[in-house]
Amino acid sequence: MDERIVGDDLLKVYVSENGKKVVLTVLAWGDPIQVGETSSDGINVTVKAREERGGSIVQVDRQGLVSKDAKFLDANNHGIMKFSVVDVQQGDGAVLETPQRQIVLIDGGETHMFARYLASRYPGTSLEAPLEIAAIVVTHGDADHFAGLLEISASEENSSSYKRLFIHPAAVFHNGLVKRPSSKDETEILGKTTSRNGRLYITGLEEDLLQVPNDEMNSQFRKWKSTLQHWSRQRPIVFKRLSDKSDANTFGFLATEGVEVNVLGPIEETVERKPALPMLHNPPKEVPEAEGEVVGAYAAASKAYSASHTINGHSIVLRLKYGNIRLLLTGDLNKESEMKLVERSRSGAVELSTDFLKAPHHGSADFSTSFLDAVKPIVSVISSGDENERKEYIHPRATLVGALGRYGRITRPLIFVTEMVAFLTTKGYAKLVDKKDAPKGKTFYAFERTSYGIVNLRFNKNRLLVFTHSGKRDLKEAYAFTVSETGEAEFDTVRQV
């Protein structure tokens, strides 16, 4: 069989059961496929089919048939980018994969869900043959964006082989802010600060996370450091603090495949000849929208500094461009930081308009309408989820969802929410049996995840396909559109065979 790439948007793969053709799986544009001989029934293929196993989704090799009308592309020359936003519940986790299989991880959630997804997508890794990761981008140091990456190294010891994943990241990019022990003052918990013209700035920015003393890290950062040490034992990892002043060659490895990456944030300043990030503020309780869209008025309305809003607002912001297709990845930006980007956009310093937006901060109400108006996305994805009452933030907020629709560039913009595209099946009443569960034996009503909540993007230099899975093998929600050099978008027919 020849290794090829699926050339149709959605391609049904069939098997024969009791003399009838039954859908085995549906592959998407850009998926690998092994193509064999053509028979009277169709083209013989071998594919990776998704199966549920013990709460995880695994891939298994299955033989099947596809239509004689199926289109295939050269496995080494297809030009299709993949970008997947994964349901990690409360948090962010996404994967970028280039046509030449360079892989970039952007955040990783807080639980084991991201690690399980990666293990199912990239099976067969080992200590001797780890999955090569071109870079891990941790947009900022909140646990729901990076603690799940620790679960990747933990998975190496899992008793189930399909849950194991071995990786080697060549580089780790971060925003330079390390959370200190909680005993630190609110204005020192992210590093040493310096005052200038009545404004407080963080000058204690870090580069190599392995060089930060343990007593200068909170517990989650110490665990993250330990994981990084584990990965660096075989080969060194390049650590780099990113900001809008970052070297243009930072993502040079992607430029070799025609991907242009601009780092828009955090917006760095210079204080006492040192790189610095300003402390940001608690949102004012009441600021009229017109006034709230001006950075100075916003800061004046709330003079109280906030470490949590500072680390969120200084998230790494990436704008990726591949031909005519543009992606904007925003971490946990908030209104104060978004307004700063709007100011820079209005001055011509940066370009914000985009086709795909990873919506900031899980759909928080702390957003700027001027920012959304400048971005004007066609497709937006909100990464959110409910785990327990301790992590309930009412994400996404109705105001944000409505604003994404209003400021979209087309009449019917697409808005996805990761927790809404996962599929759970009812299992009925069950009992807790794990010794860690308390009280053991308690009865509850159970559901089982049978499909990851993933928003998948596949795109070449002028066409984008976005699709999600469902509880049915042959049912996908899918849309396609083309984008011209001037940014004009038109919906295209989804090619399904």
| 283 closest CA partner among 205, 213, 338, 335 | 335
- The confidence score (pLDDT) of residue 291 equals 46
In a domain, 433, yes or no: no
Domain shared by 161 and 41, yes or no: no
> Which of 74, 103, 122 marks a domain boundary?
74
Domain shared by 199 and 229, yes or no: yes
In a domain, 444, yes or no: no
Domain shared by 363 and 230, yes or no: yes
In a domain, 97, yes or no: yes
Q: Distance (Å, rounded) from C-alpha 59 to C-alpha 123?
A: 8
In a domain, 456, yes or no: no
Domain shared by 103 and 53, yes or no: no
Residue 81: how many CA atoms within 13 Å on its side-chain side? Answer: 24
Q: Is the C-alpha dihedral spanning 143, 147, 148, 149 positive or negative?
A: positive
**Count of the separate structural domains present in the chain:** 2
- The confidence score (pLDDT) of residue 227 equals 98
In a domain, 129, yes or no: yes
CATH number, position 91: 3.60.15.10
In a domain, 485, yes or no: no
> Which of 22, 47, 74 marks a domain boundary?
74
Instruction: Count the helices and strands in the chain (H runs, E runs).
Output: 10, 31
Q: Distance (Å, rounded) from C-alpha 30 to C-alpha 72?
A: 9
Q: Is the C-alpha dihedral spanning 265, 271, 275, 276 positive or negative?
A: negative
- The confidence score (pLDDT) of residue 295 equals 64
**pLDDT by residue for the chain (497 residues), tens digit each?**
899 999 999 999 999 888 889 999 999 999 999 999 999 889 999 998 877 776 677 888 999 999 999 999 999 999 999 999 999 988 999 999 999 999 999 999 999 999 999 999 999 999 999 999 999 999 999 999 999 999 999 999 999 999 999 999 999 999 999 999 987 778 889 999 999 998 999 999 999 999 999 999 999 999 999 999 999 998 999 999 999 999 989 999 999 999 999 999 999 999 999 999 999 998 877 654 554 556 666 666 666 899 999 999 999 999 999 999 999 999 999 999 999 999 999 999 999 999 999 999 999 999 999 999 999 999 999 999 876 666 666 789 999 999 999 999 999 999 999 999 888 888 899 888 776 666 667 788 888 777 778 999 999 999 999 999 887 888 899 999 999 999 999 999 999 99
Domain shared by 35 and 168, yes or no: no
- The confidence score (pLDDT) of residue 423 equals 85
Domain shared by 63 and 149, yes or no: no
Q: Distance (Å, rounded) from C-alpha 229 to C-alpha 209?
A: 10
- The confidence score (pLDDT) of residue 289 equals 58
Domain shared by 120 and 143, yes or no: yes
Domain shared by 91 and 57, yes or no: no
Q: Distance (Å, rounded) from C-alpha 481 to C-alpha 489?
A: 7
Domain shared by 24 and 142, yes or no: no
Domain shared by 299 and 156, yes or no: yes
Token pair listed for 454: 């993933």
Domain shared by 317 and 383, yes or no: yes
Print the domain residue range for 69. 2-74
The CA distances from residue 310 to 169, 178, 280, 451, in Å, are 27, 12, 5, 35
- The confidence score (pLDDT) of residue 491 equals 95
Domain shared by 167 and 24, yes or no: no
In a domain, 490, yes or no: no
Q: Distance (Å, rounded) from C-alpha 277 to C-alpha 336?
A: 13
> Which of 421, 443, 474 marks a domain boundary?
421
In the sheet that holds 274-278, the strands lie side by side as: 193-196, 199-202, 274-278, 269-271
In a domain, 427, yes or no: no
Q: Distance (Å, rounded) from C-alpha 481 to C-alpha 494?
A: 9
